[in-house]
A and B are shown apart, each in its own frame.
Chain A
């Protein structure tokens, strides 16, 4: 994985000192809260319902064991012994004291980590495929390109006060595991005539106006990635709406201009920027690539699995994913215990995951946007030992991509924007399906819950989505069906009137009953919905 050189370290260290200075000026009253807010936000510090929340960047979701140990230590030292992994492949701490935040950032910097641009109206932490470097279907590892863009976007002088936040994802396979087309810019590394380049999808997003990004250029040569991205941003910075924060994302601009006109303006700016010599040298990309080279996989490893323990066999079936190297798999650690808080891990669990990362996965793990952890390179022969350790730590939940593997935002339990609680709904749904034993029968079923219209829980992209709203002071939950964040990206549709908290859990069960009744052989919930449409589900819910 990528390691800092003296330049990267100096930038992060300077940032810590800058924030220490900003915090001092705030505490001395030299900065008003209005003036301090965008500064702390650009360091990932939000003021939430009960305390400050700090969001730590995990570029393209990749961590080593030393970093995971530090995340655990921070949970103990500055929080209440927990961390919360998010849909941005990041981690958040919910109980931070402002006066301690500079020390926390210094601790992060000591393991080559930071909270730079994890919030604010700037280019955010760049996300990627959580199976990068392990998936058999990828063209190349997308992370060198993500790292190149991480550096370019860090402290970008022109794009630190954009109309709104800006999220970029980079993938390099036709299978999309990063919700690429639901980002402000989604980049897919592609091959044309033997050369690599980037397809740019611009103007996707969730929030209150979900949109799937159109492709605005099919091929950008690799040495022009930065000027092209810069052109996309400059057109947005110039024309993105600033009169209404709900219409300020780039998706609105692309939609209002039309993708052809937006693309035309980007091309004009791109042609100009190419004359400015702003692209990093290709040698820089070549310097970055070896950091993401394959670890030294062994050859001739056994591929058989002793399935005599049914609990272990179930976990393998659900949580182990095929790998490009024979004898290896990627193992997904579910942070979705039945009745638990999706994405939460205790400090002790993080320490244990760090140890397992080192022992079983070439000292590398990943955070997924589905709020789980991946050990990307595990020997099949080690799986039982790994599972035994995970089981002892409460981390062997065999439920990846099932209805128990719920994405949920923090909701009204923590978030000052939320209208309704998400966590209790997630807990009750996983308890319901664990108790009725249908999880296995339902197979792949992606359920996503947001506690408000900002859609941090990706409800638009759920096979089943749930949106919490405030209805005359009472929490109410809308049900949506048919979304997908994968390569077949689609936006979910609302079924009809919402439900109260017990009602939404019943409603989820009702729509799964329709699926089980109507499905053809081999169909997932999403496939059946797409074939039969909304009506049979509405009939069952409201008929």
Chain B
């Protein structure tokens, strides 16, 4: 997953992307539910709700260009596992966190493989940029493929 830096800072209304770490053209149409996606053969954008099992998408990753993961409340952390499961299966399309996405979850979400963020409430950009850059190093492997501290210690 290329880290292209923050692109396309914009976003003025709900569901609009405020932060994007990709160079490709964003998908310009809406997403469908997981159930609809599994019923249709041509959809390329899907939205995962907290109760959905992201593993259901794994046989169809080839035709997916956008996965939105909804966080109706920030404290429901199921979407973090969903994101990692998709990235571990080498999903390379856009992975967008939508909903109750707040400053202090950004770095964690990024580590789990999210590369686009569409918060319900527009975030303060100075605070957000600081939050993305907060952790110079990390202790464990995740979807961002950063080399964790236990490996850095041993060359």
Using a CB–CB cutoff of 8 Å, the interface residues on chain A facing chain B are 5, 7-8, 10-11, 14, 17-18, 21-22, 25, 30, 35, 38-39, 121, 151-152, 154-162, 226, 234, 237-238, 242, 272, 276-278, 280-281, 283-284, 287
Contact B152 A39 (CB under 8 A): no
Expressed in whole angstroms, the Cα–Cα distance for A278 and B135 within the complex equals 19
Known: A7-B137, A14-B135, A152-B139. A158 touches B80 (CB 8 A): yes
Report A-chain residues with C-beta under 8 Å of the C-beta of B153. Answer: 5, 7, 283-284, 287
Contact B112 A157 (CB under 8 A): yes
Report B-chain residues with C-beta under 8 Å of the C-beta of A35. Answer: 74, 102
Report B-chain residues with C-beta under 8 Å of the C-beta of A237. Answer: 77-78, 80-81
- B108 interface residue, CB < 8 Å from A? yes
Q: Which residue of B lies closest to A5 (CB)?
A: B153
Contact A10 B137 (CB under 8 A): yes
Contact B80 A161 (CB under 8 A): yes
Expressed in whole angstroms, the Cα–Cα distance for A3 and B125 within the complex equals 37
Which of B5-13, B16-24, B39-47, B141-149 participates in binding chain A? B141-149
Contact A159 B77 (CB under 8 A): yes
Contact A157 B108 (CB under 8 A): yes
Chain B residues touching A, range: 35 or more
Known: A35-B102, A121-B75, A161-B75. A234 touches B137 (CB 8 A): no
Report A-chain residues with C-beta under 8 Å of the C-beta of B35. Answer: none
Contact B76 A161 (CB under 8 A): yes
Return the 7 tightest CB-CB contacts between A and B, nearest first. Answer: A161-B77, A157-B111, A280-B150, A278-B141, A284-B150, A157-B108, A7-B149
Expressed in whole angstroms, the Cα–Cα distance for A308 and B122 within the complex equals 75
Report A-chain residues with C-beta under 8 Å of the C-beta of B135. Answer: 11, 14, 155
Report A-chain residues with C-beta under 8 Å of the C-beta of B136. Answer: 10, 14
Contact A277 B108 (CB under 8 A): no
- B84 interface residue, CB < 8 Å from A? yes
Report A-chain residues with C-beta under 8 Å of the C-beta of B88. Answer: 272, 276
Report A-chain residues with C-beta under 8 Å of the C-beta of B152. Answer: 7
Contact B127 A287 (CB under 8 A): no
Report B-chain residues with C-beta under 8 Å of the C-beta of A280. Answer: 140, 148, 150-151
Expressed in whole angstroms, the Cα–Cα distance for A161 and B105 within the complex equals 10
Report B-chain residues with C-beta under 8 Å of the C-beta of A7. Answer: 137, 149, 152-153
**B78-98 interface code vs A (CB 8 A; 1 in, 0 out):** 101100100010000000000
- B29 interface residue, CB < 8 Å from A? no
- Point out the residue from B104, B109, B112 that lies within 8 Å of A22, measured CB to CB: B104
Expressed in whole angstroms, the Cα–Cα distance for A30 and B130 within the complex equals 15
- B56 interface residue, CB < 8 Å from A? no
